[in-house]
Structures are given as C-alpha cells and as structure tokens.
Chain A
Amino acid sequence: MDYISTTKKQRKEMLQSIGVNSVEDLFKDIPEKLKIKKLNLNNPLSEAELKKTVSDLSKKNANALEYSYFLGAGIYNHFLPSVVPHLALRSEFYTAYTPYQPEVSQGNLQVIYEWQTFISELTGQDLANASVYDGATATADAMIMTKIITKRNKVLVAKSLNPEYKKVLKNYAQANEIEIKEIEYKNGLLSLDELKKELDEKTASVILQNPNFFGCIESLEEIINLIHEKGTLSIVAVSEPVSLGLLKPAGEFDADFVTGEGQSFGIPMSFGGPGVGFYATKQKHVRFVPGRLSGKTTDSDGKEGFILTLQAREQHIRREKAISNICTNQGLMAVIATIHLSLLGKNGLKEMAELNLQKAHYAAEKIKELDGFEIFFGALFFNEFVIKTPGAEKVKEKLLEKKIISGFSLEKEFPELKDCILFCVTEMNSKESIDTLVEVLKEVK
C-alpha cells in the first residue's frame, strides 16, 4: 500500500524547482550516522493481503456476536443501530481537525453544542464540555479543579468507585500533590459514618459513583448535603449513563461536578476505547472546565453560528497558566453519542433504561433462587448486581463452555468479596439467554 500521489517524473520536476539533486539533499540537517540504514519492518502489503492479515487477528477474539456477555464494570454491551456509524463516518465529520476555522466547521460545532445540551440535560447540570478522554480522566480532571477552587488538597474517594477510575485518580493525585483517602462501603453503599469521620475543612472534594461500581444506587441527597456542610465539593461519576433515563440526576441533588463515560450511547466496546468522557458542572464553575466549549454567536451578517469559546482556559492561549493541558479530545465519539441520543430521544432512552432495569432484576431473582448463590448487597440496583457464588473461577469456566462471558470477579480488586461476581444485564440479553445463564449456574456446586 502507499498513498502517495507524486509520480517519478513529478518528483524530478519538484526537486529541480527546489534546486537540489535528490531527496537525500533535503535531509542534510540530519547527520549521516543518525540515518536509518535498514528498516526492520515487513515488505509493503497489497490491500487484499492486508485485509486478510488484520482480519485473521480479529478472529482470535471472543466478541459479542458470538458470545453472550453478562459483563459490564465500566464498559457495556448495548445495541448499536446501523444508522449511527453511517452518519458518523460521513467523512466531513471524521476527517476534519478540531474546529479552529468555524466558518467551515459549523457541522462539527453544532454537534458539539447539541452534545453539551444532551449531557447537561442528562446530568441535571448547567453546562457540559465537548468531551475528555474517558470517564476516569473526566473524574480526575474534576478532582484537580476542586483542588484549585477550594485551595484544599485532600480528596475522599468512595471505595465503591470503579477500580479503573481509582487507579487513574491515584496517578493524577500523585502528580498534583493531592492526598487521597478511601471511604469504606457498607452493604454496597458509601458508608455515611465513615464519610462523616473523614470529612473536614481540609477536604477539597468527595468523589463517588452512581450507580456505584457494585451497581447499587446511592442516596445522593443525603451524601451531597453532608459534603456541602464542610464547604467541600462533590463529584459524582456515572459509568453507566443509560441509568439516567430513569434516575434523578446528580445535578438535581446539587452535585458540583458530574463526570462519566458515554460509551453506552452507540459506541462499540472496542476493548475499552475509544469511548467518550463527559464533564458537566454548574454555571459558577464555568472557568473550571477543561478542553473545548462550543458556544452560540452570530456572524457579520447577524446569522447564528457556533464557535469554540472561553478559550482563555486553554493551553493554546494560556500555556503554563492554562487550567488543563487537553487539546485533542474524543470528538468523533461525542458525534456518535449525540446521534445515538437523538435516535433514542426522550422516549427511547427511558424505554432502554427500563429494559435494563427489568431484565437485570429478572436475572438477579432467578439466580438468587439457586443453591449456593445469593444477592450479596441488599441495596437498590440498576443493571448490575453482585452475586456471591460457590466459586467465581468455577462459574467462569462453566459459563465459558456455553459461550457465555461471566461477570467481573471482584476478589482481585476487593479481597473481602471472595467468590463474588458483578453481573451485568442489558437490553442485549434476551430472556432466553438469561434462562440459559441460570441453567448453567445451576450446575455449579
């Protein structure tokens, strides 16, 4: 393969025009000894050979068309309507750069504005940004902002936050000299007693997830009120935003920041990336938003249009004084999620959330009836729940024989949850597939 248009004859003409004899003459600034003598890569492949080589690799992986997934834990197997990639892969969207020239980027800028609206509506916040890398970095960004806003450097993190998010927070906190302390859970929910004990006037923010990593629905009102008593800010992460089709959003409980992952909205699981991180907050924190914001304005004829705005927060304008270093974000993924959310709309999102809720409860009830299996936490849940099993490894192996991918084994990240599995049920799991799951589990003793 190559994608070069210049012919040999043209190359000669161009070299002549430049006034050099050969292409090598263009690289005189690089010392000879630093030039590559031989590149140890494969010979170029034709498109047919290339297609076969890459496709062969893809066949070595389990995937959601061939296996039945009951696995979530931050990445979810949801329905992907055909229309979404057809629209998002219109090349005017996917081969464009960040919309620095708004006059020829109105498509992209309007989609970002619509995305900002969708996320604000869903989270119950005043505003949202154009996207960040993923749910974990969105939450880490918010953590850093709360340090800047409150000038405090202690952050409390719910133990029931997704472990992937916790690892990223830990890393960002180290670099930023933020001290992190974990808050225990009790019966699957954030322990209010522990929170009261740790919360003080030095605490910049408290970070929790809803529904939390165990799928349980937190009492946001009580928690956020408590947090605010100490002048501390609240960050609520949402890793399964389909839940927002039903649940009252954190913004309505006065959360300061709502961050999360939008992969559930029409984005393939793709081994965990790319998804799309979202970041929403209150009007009063508008200067503490990382990355791009699309704003409405008018052109020289008074016609409405969109432009990247409030750029005095950003690195390309403020350099070392910027509040974040982000440049490229997850633009196309926000386009995909926006299109998907439009398709779902008011009625579809609610219906989808209801499907997830009902099917997950059906599965949990059925599993609970089996000998040796129990629902481990008594709390309310959405589409994920923790089951104590006779043996997580045995369950996994048995299910795999029937091409079923088990839930997430919790013991590695939470040693106290031995043989506990976090199962996930979405609209993609039919009653039949749930019944099969239960049948197989029945055989595990």
Chain B
Amino acid sequence: MKLIFEKGAEGRKGVSLPELDVEKKENLIPKALLRKELNLPEVSELDVVRHYTKLSTLNFGVDSGFYPLGSCTMKYNPKINEDMSFLQGFALTHPLQGEELSQGVLELMFELEKALCELSGFERFSLQPAAGAHGELTGVMITKAFFKKKEENRTKLLIADSSHGTNPASCVLCGFETIEVKSDKEGNLDLEDLKEKMQQDVAGLMLTSPNTLGLFDKNTEEICKIVHEKNGLVYCDGANMNAIVGISKPAEQGFDIMHINLHKTFSTPHGGGGPGSGPVGVTKELVEFLPAPLIDKNRKGFYLNYDLENSIGKMRSFFGNFGILVRAFTYIKGLGTSLKEVGENSVLNANYLAVNLKKDFDLPYNRICMHEFVLSDKNFPNQVTTMDLAKRLLDYGFHAPTIYFPLIVHGAIMIEPTETESKETLDEFIEIMKKILKEAEKEPEKLKNAPQNTPVKRLDAVKAARQPDLRWKKQ
C-alpha cells in the first residue's frame, strides 16, 4: 500500500487552525535559522481517514480474534477504560499545574498504588516506570543503590535460563554481570545450581513468577531463602502475574522487589507495542530507594512526596504513563474482589488447552500449569517447523502463540489463552491445531507456504536486515 507521503496534492492540508489574531511581525527569526525544506505530506482530512482506516484493516488485534501470545497476556481490553482515560479532567491536565489543582489525579494514583500493594503484598509502589523492562531497570538500580549504601561491592546478578531477554539486558545496563541458573527436569529452578552460584559477590536473583514455562516454581520460598541467606535480593519479574492475581502475594512468597505489567494483568491495551506501564513494588526496607516522588496524603490532601532519603532519582519525566494508570485503576475498581476469578479462569483456560493439545503435541513439562504452557516441536513430521505452524495459524484467523521462547524448549510454542476467552474459542483453537498437525503429515507444503490468506505472505527478513530501508525519501 502507498505511503501517506506518496498521496495527496500540492497545497492540501487536513487540519483547520485558528486565524492569526495578533499583528504579524516579520523576521522574528533570522533566515539562517529557518528551515528550507519540509517534505511532509499534503493531504486532506478524508485522505488521512481513508489511509489509516485501510491500514488498520491490515492489522490484527484482540478485538479481531484469539491472540494466544504467551507471556503477553492478550486479554480483552474493556472499552470503559478507554473512555475514562479520555475524560477532560484526566486527559487535559498538565503535570506541573500544582497539587491543589490535581487532587483527583493524585487520589487515583494513591488508590491504584494501594490496590497494587494489597494484591502483591509489597509496602509501596512507584508508578513511574513506563513498561515492564523499564520496571526491571528500576529494580536493578534499586538493587545497586541498596548495596552501595551498605558499601558492599556486589557485581553479579543471577537470572534463570528461562528468563525474558529483558532480564539480562536490564542487569547489564546497570553494570552487573549476569550468571544463568539452570532449570531442573520439572521446570523448577535447580536448587543445587542456585546454591553454588549464589556467592558473596552476587547481588541477587531475577526470577519470573510464575515462570516462563507457565509453572509456579514449587520451591519459590526455598529459592528466596537461599538468596536471603547470602543477604541477596530477589526480584520478581511480574509479567506473568495474571495467573496468581487475587490468589497469592509475591511479597509473602519471599520476593523483595517486583514489577507489574499493567498492560498485561490489568487489561490496559498493548497499543501495538505500548504505551505500557510497569510499576515497581518493594518491601519496607527498600522504600527509601524508590524513584521520587511517591504520592502521599496529609491534612491538606494528596501531595507529591519527594522526601525519600536514598531515592535512585527519576526514571522518566513527570509521574509515569498516567493515562495508562487511569485505565488500570478503572479495571481494578470495577472488578474489586472478583479479581480472584481472573487468576482462576486464566489457569482453568490454560490447563484445558494443555490437556487437550498434549494428546497430539509434545508438552515437555507435563504437569498442571498456571496461565500458560509451552509445547515443543518434537515429533513434527516432514521437517515442518514451529514457524510454519505459527504462520499456518494466521491462515485460520488466529494470532500465533509466542514462538522459540523460552530458549530451553526446542522449537517452543508458548500458549496463553487468558481468562476472557470462551470455551467455544478454545475448542475451535484445539480443533485447528490438530487439523494443522494433520496437514503437516499429509500436505506439509500448506504449512511451508503459509500464510496465504493474509495481506502479505512470508516476508524476507534477511533482505530487510542486509539492505535496511527504514524511511521514505523524496525522489
């Protein structure tokens, strides 16, 4: 499809701005500082509407169909959340307009933080981090500040071999060296390996809980104990919190720091890659290190509290992705105590899928799972790959699962249905998965040439990387 830059006609524009109502002054800026060229489109409002409406139809979202992308929690995004975030009293507020003129904003943030504390067991949360990885970075910075204050030189951090790529990347950004801890045959963290690697120069461990195999580590308490015995900190990557929301609190399991992806567990939309929000919670002894300000309340009302003795500083400008906080607050307030059913039904749906798929597919960690599970490509006939299966699913109108992650499962297919999907949808998915496996046996070319029913066919990634074309240029 043509680019917006290739459409329109000279002299056209798509917006009507107010007339200049003050006397125009010439030469306010010297010519040498003025730009000569501005190669932007010249299109009308309708041109723009048609262009982006058409583009939207080439996209697939949760509203389009089943989106079982593991570790991403692609649940339904309630419409009321969007409406609330666009209310003028939220959307049209300036971050520097002052506390007395922002009491509703601050109250919402205060209440959201309280709810996150209640659900996770942590003492306080910073709502600043803009995404999960940004939350990890915050957590690692807190870890660094904690040991700096204690004047201990700890240079390493442990991560699980099943961890998200963001975990080691966040550690390295703060100057830590990472060491991988193995998973055992059952998919739990290998305790012996952990004990061996948890030495005096190790600041702690980052662990996704439930883990990226979709399992709740049976030894979670023991793991935390091993790290704590060496005075290390345990960080919980909360990307998978959906399974345990309303069911168990990570702080009570022994974790010290945690980020929560509001754009996963608390239903705020992923927006095709953000904006997200990754609030970070800590235990009492770490509160002094949180990014300032926190939102507190005194006799006069809600206020921005900058009085944090050893705050790491700011993670981003102003106070976080506030518009996303409004959506998450609306969701939590609406569900209240019934949030427990979110955890329950996400786990119910995942186990129902797992049980019905493992008859035909290899499920390497064959036990009751949490909100997701991981199949392998073992037994795929005719050199069919996980990629082929994923692309064939697109032909049948489903989004593909997360593939080739976690790295410890060969040809991993990571499936997360979420609680909002119906049994009918799950049954349909099971049926199609089985059908595709049959095709793999009898008509493998159907998978190898997939997808056929999508706006474009399989794209050449090698060409894109070898001859990068990252923008349009005026000829």
Q: Is A150 an interface residue (CB 8 A)?
A: no
Partner among A51, A103, A305, A328 whose Cβ is within 8 Å of the Cβ of B133? A328
When distances are taken between beta carbons in the complex, the residues of chain A under 8 Å from B34 are: 246-248
* Contact indicator B28/A107 (Cβ below 8 Å): no
* Contact indicator A348/B355 (Cβ below 8 Å): no
- From residue 8 to 28 of chain B, which have CB atoms closer than 8 A to chain A? 8, 11-15, 17-18, 20-25, 28
Q: Is A372 an interface residue (CB 8 A)?
A: no
- From residue 259 to 279 of chain B, which have CB atoms closer than 8 A to chain A? 263, 267, 269-276
When distances are taken between beta carbons in the complex, the residues of chain B under 8 Å from A361 are: 25, 28
CB distance from A218 to the nearest CB of B (A): 10
Stretch at the interface among A26-34, A181-189, A194-202, A225-233: A26-34
Q: Is B420 an interface residue (CB 8 A)?
A: yes
When distances are taken between beta carbons in the complex, the residues of chain A under 8 Å from B449 are: 300
Partner among A13, A86, A270 whose Cβ is within 8 Å of the Cβ of B323? A270
Which residue of chain A has the shortest Cβ distance to B249 in the bound complex? A36
When distances are taken between beta carbons in the complex, the residues of chain A under 8 Å from B421 are: 5
Q: Is B390 an interface residue (CB 8 A)?
A: yes
**Interface size classification for chain B:** 35 or more
Known: A107-B59, A168-B314. A362 touches B347 (CB 8 A): no
Instruction: Give B106-124 as 1s and 0s: 1 = Cβ < 8 Å from A's Cβ atoms.
Output: 0110000001001100000
Q: Is B372 an interface residue (CB 8 A)?
A: no
* Contact indicator A134/B130 (Cβ below 8 Å): yes
Which residue of chain B has the shortest Cβ distance to A321 in the bound complex? B172
CB distance from A93 to the nearest CB of B (A): 5
* Contact indicator B334/A358 (Cβ below 8 Å): no
Give the distance in Å from the alpha carbon of A14 to the alpha carbon of B93 in the complex: 47
Instruction: Give B49-82 as 1s and 0s: 1 = Cβ < 8 Å from A's Cβ atoms.
Output: 1011101111111111001010010111110101
Give the distance in Å from the alpha carbon of A73 to the alpha carbon of B216 in the complex: 46
When distances are taken between beta carbons in the complex, the residues of chain A under 8 Å from B75 are: 3
Q: Is B475 an interface residue (CB 8 A)?
A: no
**Interface size classification for chain A:** 35 or more
* Contact indicator A39/B340 (Cβ below 8 Å): yes
* Contact indicator A297/B463 (Cβ below 8 Å): yes
Which residue of chain A has the shortest Cβ distance to B340 in the bound complex? A39
* Contact indicator A292/B273 (Cβ below 8 Å): yes
Q: Is A149 an interface residue (CB 8 A)?
A: no
CB distance from B20 to the nearest CB of A (A): 6
Known: A83-B45, A345-B8. A299 touches B400 (CB 8 A): no
Partner among A5, A67, A114, A314 whose Cβ is within 8 Å of the Cβ of B5? A114
Partner among B247, B323, B341, B469 whose Cβ is within 8 Å of the Cβ of A268? B323
* Contact indicator B90/A98 (Cβ below 8 Å): no
Give the distance in Å from the alpha carbon of A367 to the alpha carbon of B101 in the complex: 25
* Contact indicator A330/B275 (Cβ below 8 Å): yes
Known: A93-B61, A117-B3, A358-B20. A136 touches B317 (CB 8 A): yes
Q: Which of B67, B169, B341 has the most CB of A within 10 A?
A: B169
* Contact indicator A354/B91 (Cβ below 8 Å): no
* Contact indicator B94/A269 (Cβ below 8 Å): yes
CB distance from B42 to the nearest CB of A (A): 5
When distances are taken between beta carbons in the complex, the residues of chain B under 8 Å from A155 are: none
Q: Is A146 an interface residue (CB 8 A)?
A: no
When distances are taken between beta carbons in the complex, the residues of chain A under 8 Å from B170 are: 325
Stretch at the interface among B191-199, B226-234, B454-462: B454-462
When distances are taken between beta carbons in the complex, the residues of chain A under 8 Å from B322 are: 270-274
* Contact indicator B90/A346 (Cβ below 8 Å): no
Give the distance in Å from the alpha carbon of A79 to the alpha carbon of B333 in the complex: 32
* Contact indicator A97/B69 (Cβ below 8 Å): yes
Q: Is A339 an interface residue (CB 8 A)?
A: yes
CB distance from A278 to the nearest CB of B (A): 13
* Contact indicator B355/A19 (Cβ below 8 Å): yes
Instruction: Give A241-262 as 1s and 0s: 1 = Cβ < 8 Å from B's Cβ atoms.
Output: 0001111110010000000010
Which residue of chain A has the shortest Cβ distance to B23 in the bound complex? A362
Which residue of chain B has the shortest Cβ distance to A34 in the bound complex? B248
CB distance from A294 to the nearest CB of B (A): 7
* Contact indicator B17/A103 (Cβ below 8 Å): no
Q: Which of A26, A335, A361 has the most CB of B within 10 A?
A: A26
When distances are taken between beta carbons in the complex, the residues of chain A under 8 Å from B131 are: 133, 326-329
CB distance from A157 to the nearest CB of B (A): 14
* Contact indicator A98/B347 (Cβ below 8 Å): no
Give the distance in Å from the alpha carbon of A300 to the alpha carbon of B67 in the complex: 25
Q: Is A264 an interface residue (CB 8 A)?
A: no
* Contact indicator A320/B168 (Cβ below 8 Å): yes
- From residue 427 to 471 of chain B, which have CB atoms closer than 8 A to chain A? 449, 451, 454-461, 463-465, 468-471
* Contact indicator A324/B173 (Cβ below 8 Å): yes
Instruction: Give A306-349 as 1s and 0s: 1 = Cβ < 8 Å from B's Cβ atoms.
Output: 11011110111111111011111111110100110111111111
CB distance from A150 to the nearest CB of B (A): 18
When distances are taken between beta carbons in the complex, the residues of chain A under 8 Å from B405 are: 316
Known: A11-B348, A54-B326. A121 touches B273 (CB 8 A): no
CB distance from B237 to the nearest CB of A (A): 12
Instruction: Give A130-160 as 1s and 0s: 1 = Cβ < 8 Å from B's Cβ atoms.
Output: 1101111100000010000000000000000
* Contact indicator B461/A297 (Cβ below 8 Å): yes
Which residue of chain B has the shortest Cβ distance to A14 in the bound complex? B352
* Contact indicator B339/A39 (Cβ below 8 Å): yes
* Contact indicator A305/B459 (Cβ below 8 Å): yes
Give the distance in Å from the alpha carbon of A295 to the alpha carbon of B65 in the complex: 26
- From residue 385 to 427 of chain B, which have CB atoms closer than 8 A to chain A? 390-391, 394, 399-400, 402, 405, 419-423, 425
Known: A62-B102, A103-B459. A131 touches B22 (CB 8 A): no
* Contact indicator A303/B273 (Cβ below 8 Å): no
* Contact indicator B247/A35 (Cβ below 8 Å): yes
When distances are taken between beta carbons in the complex, the residues of chain A under 8 Å from B21 are: 430-432
Which residue of chain B has the shortest Cβ distance to A135 in the bound complex? B317
When distances are taken between beta carbons in the complex, the residues of chain A under 8 Å from B297 are: none
* Contact indicator B465/A310 (Cβ below 8 Å): yes
Q: Is B384 an interface residue (CB 8 A)?
A: no
CB distance from A54 to the nearest CB of B (A): 5
Q: Is B381 an interface residue (CB 8 A)?
A: no
* Contact indicator A107/B56 (Cβ below 8 Å): yes
* Contact indicator B269/A94 (Cβ below 8 Å): yes
Q: Is B240 an interface residue (CB 8 A)?
A: no
* Contact indicator A34/B333 (Cβ below 8 Å): no
* Contact indicator A106/B144 (Cβ below 8 Å): no
CB distance from A331 to the nearest CB of B (A): 3
Give the distance in Å from the alpha carbon of A440 to the alpha carbon of B409 in the complex: 69
7 example contacts (A-B, Cβ-Cβ < 8 A) are as follows A34-B253, A63-B88, A94-B77, A100-B402, A274-B322, A299-B460, A344-B14
6 more A-B contacts (CB under 8 A) besides A272-B95, A297-B469? Answer: A34-B248, A42-B336, A57-B105, A71-B94, A261-B317, A357-B28
10 pairs of A and B residues whose beta carbons are closest in the complex = A272-B318, A58-B89, A332-B271, A331-B273, A60-B104, A272-B95, A95-B61, A171-B313, A107-B59, A5-B422
